Amino acid sequence: MRRTRLTYAGLAALLAFGGWTTGGAGPASANDSAATTAGSASVSAGMLQAMQRDLGLSKERAEARLAAERVALDIAAKAREAAGSAYGGSWFDARSERLTVAVTSKAPPATVRQVRATGATVRTVTHSARELDATRARIDRLSAPSGVSGWHVDPVANTVVVNVVRDRRADNDVRRFVARALEAGPVTVGTVAAAPRTFAAGTVGGDPYYTGNVRCSIGFSVHGGFVTAGHCGRQGASVRGWDGSHIGTFQGSSFPDNDYAWVSVGSGWWTVPVVLGWGTVPDRLVRGSAEAPVGTSVCRSGSTTRWHCGTVLAKNETVNYSQGAVHQMTKTSVCAEPGDSGGSFISGDQAQGVTSGGWGNCSGGGQTWFQPVNEILARYGLRLHTA
C-alpha cells in the first residue's frame, strides 16, 4: 500500500489539530476499522491478527498479553531502580504475563520487598547485570571469526551466551574463540542455524528509500529527518524516496561497531510520527520510546516483507557480521528479508529500534536484530517525532 505525499499532507493536518484518534491512516478494511483496548493503548484488529499469525495466539490471548506487557513496561524502570546494585536483569514471562526481575542472592530482604512492591516477580540469581555486562564487554575485545554468530547477556539463564553457527562448531578459529570467551566470566555456548547478514538490497519495487544502488527502509521520524541502519549509507550519501525524488542526506552513519544512521529531510519531504502498517494493521502512531523487556511482543515494518511480529529474545547482543561486529543489539524472533534494513521495530506505540540484519526469511522463519532507537537518539542528539 503506497502512501502518497497527499496522504501525508492530510495526516499532518490531522495530527496538528489532534483529530486522528483511531491509531491509523489511509484506507482500512472493515476488520481494521474496529479497535480494542489493551491497557491505555488502542490496539487494532489488524495488530491482533498479526500477533495471532506470528505468535500463535488466540485473539483473547493477544489482547491479554498486550495489556500485561503495557503493565510490565510501566514498572520495569521502577523495579530496576529498586533492585539497585543487586539487579540481575529483567524479562517478560509470557506464561505468567508478568515482569520478572532477577536479584542476586546477596540482596537484603528489604531490597527484595521493594522490588516486589513494584508488581514484579522476583527471581534470585548468582550474577548481577553489572557482572554479566562486564563479561560481555571482555568478549567484545576479542576478534571473532565468521563462524561465531554473536553473543549477548541472557538474564533468564543468568549468563552470557555465545552463539556459534551450527556447521562451523569444529572450525579451529571458532574453537579458539570459544575457549577465550569461556575465560571471560559466566559464559554458555549455544548454536544457531545460520550466520547473520544485513538486509540491504539492490533497487527493487516497493515503498523504500534508496542510496546509490541500495534499497533500505525508513526507521522512525525525528525532528529534521529520520533514523535508519548505518550499513545503508555513509555520511554525506544522497537519499532518494520511493518516487525517485531527493529526500535528503545521511548526516551521520556508523557501521560496523554500531549499525545506525540519521538522514536529514528536505526538498519538499517532511516527517510524521507514524509507522506503516501496510494494510495488515492501521498505520501506527509513535508516542514514545520506552524500552520493552525481554519476552515482550514486538512488530517490524519494512519495505520488503512489510508487517511482521515476534518476541524480544535478548538485549545487548554483539552480532558478528562479515563486515565486523556490531554491539548492543536486540535480538528478536521476527523475520525479515533484504530491503527491510533500517525499518521500524515497535512495541505497542513505543519505538524500539531500527532493523539491522539476521538470518532466515519470512517464508521459513528466522531471527532479526535491531539497533535500539534510544541509543541512536543519544548519539546524534536527536528528538523522536511523537504524536
Domain boundaries, the chain: 76-125, 129-195, 198-380
Looking at 128, 341, 347, 356, which residue is catalytic? Answer: 341
| CA pair distance 377, 221, nearest whole angstrom | 11
- pLDDT for position 42: 59
How does pLDDT run across 341-377, given as a tens digit for each residue? 999 999 999 999 999 999 999 999 999 999 999 999 9
**217 a catalytic residue:** no
Looking at 127, 152, 231, 385, which residue is catalytic? Answer: 231
Instruction: Give residue 267's region: left, alpha or beta (phi > 0; psi -120 to 50).
Output: left
Would the pLDDT of 8 be above 60? no
* Least confident residue range of 26-30, 49-53, 355-359, 380-384: 26-30
Would the pLDDT of 40 be above 70? no
- pLDDT for position 12: 30
The sign of the CA dihedral 212, 221, 255, 166 is negative
- Mean pLDDT estimate for the chain: 86
Q: pTM of this prediction? A: 0.74
- pLDDT for position 47: 84
- pLDDT for position 270: 82
How does pLDDT run across 319-343, given as a tens digit for each residue? 999 999 999 999 999 999 999 999 9
Q: 102 forms bridges with which residues in the sheet?
A: 123
**231 a catalytic residue:** yes
- pLDDT for position 207: 56
**173 a catalytic residue:** no
Per-residue pLDDT band at 20 (split at 50, 70, 90):
very low
- pLDDT for position 192: 93
Q: Grid coordinates standing for 308?
A: 511482521
Would the pLDDT of 29 be above 70? no
Mean pLDDT (whole number) for 227-238: 96
**198-380 CATH pick, 3.40.50.720, 2.60.120.430, 2.40.10.10, 2.60.120.10:** 2.40.10.10
Would the pLDDT of 25 be above 60? no
Per-residue pLDDT band at 32 (split at 50, 70, 90):
very low
Looking at 54, 259, 283, 340, which residue is catalytic? Answer: 259
- pLDDT for position 283: 83
Cβ(64)–Cβ(72) below 8 Å: no
Residues of the chain with pLDDT > 70, as a percent, come to 87
CATH topology classification for 129-195: GMP Synthetase; Chain A, domain 3 (3.30.300)
The one-letter amino acid at 258: N
What SS3 class is residue 172? helix
Per-residue pLDDT band at 245 (split at 50, 70, 90):
confident
Would the pLDDT of 262 be above 70? yes
- pLDDT for position 39: 39
Cβ(23)–Cβ(34) below 8 Å: no
How does pLDDT run across 140-190, given as a tens digit for each residue? 999 999 999 999 999 999 999 999 999 999 999 999 999 999 999 999 999
| CA pair distance 116, 206, nearest whole angstrom | 48
